[in-house]
Amino acid sequence: MQTVLQRLRAAHPDAHCELNYESPLQLLVATILSAQCTDVRVNQVTPDLFAKYPDVTALAAADRAELEETIRPTGFFRQKAEFIQSTAVSLIQNHGGDVPEEMDDLTQLKGVARKTANVVLGEIFGKAEGITVDTHVKRIAHKLGLTSDNKDPVKVERELMAMIPHEHWIDISHLLIFHGRRICIARRPDCPNCTLNDICPSAEL
């Protein structure tokens, strides 16, 4: 595992969260929007969204139809609008308008599962309570033989947590995501130029 980490760090020294945000609330909302949507598309939508609704009170009081229209390009906009507005109301009612920094509190918010909670905890609070598992992480972890072919992201997360040292839980997600976007692309993996090709059981050389 140390070899995987060292090589990925050398290959992707700039790996980081690619969602644009300026506050915990903005990251929380952007991560909710990123479900089944690219970070690039989310980043195209959020400037207008955050300009219209600059704080949790504005989001809670938003006209639902206008909110839906603003986030429409991210897909599943009706469900996401409900999640965002319900979350804003919950933050006001239960957390003084602030984004909580505990896993249990975050996952009680509507539309916030462990993936979103892990992003917020790691990025905002520097807390590694788990490993963010998105489609890239799940796919590449399996290709590398780090996890079983499991479709459940929570089970994949547990498998990764069991083998990856705690101090790397935040970094590994960024590294695998960047690797998935740049090298191990789903439809055309660039195995000949992959830094892990000699230890990857799925390499096509």
152 belongs to the catalytic site: no
Identified catalytic residue from 80, 134, 138, 143: 134
Catalytic residue among 80, 115, 138, 143: 115
Helix (H) or strand (E) holding 122, with range, is helix 114-125
SS3 track for 32-69: HHCCCCCHHHHHHHHHHHHHHCCCHHHHHCCCHHHHHH
Q: Are 29 and 59 in contact (CB under 8 A)?
A: yes
* Residue 155 among the catalytic residues: no
Cα separations in angstroms, 180 against 10, 40, 74, 76, 152 = 15, 15, 21, 24, 19
Residues taking part in catalysis: 115, 134
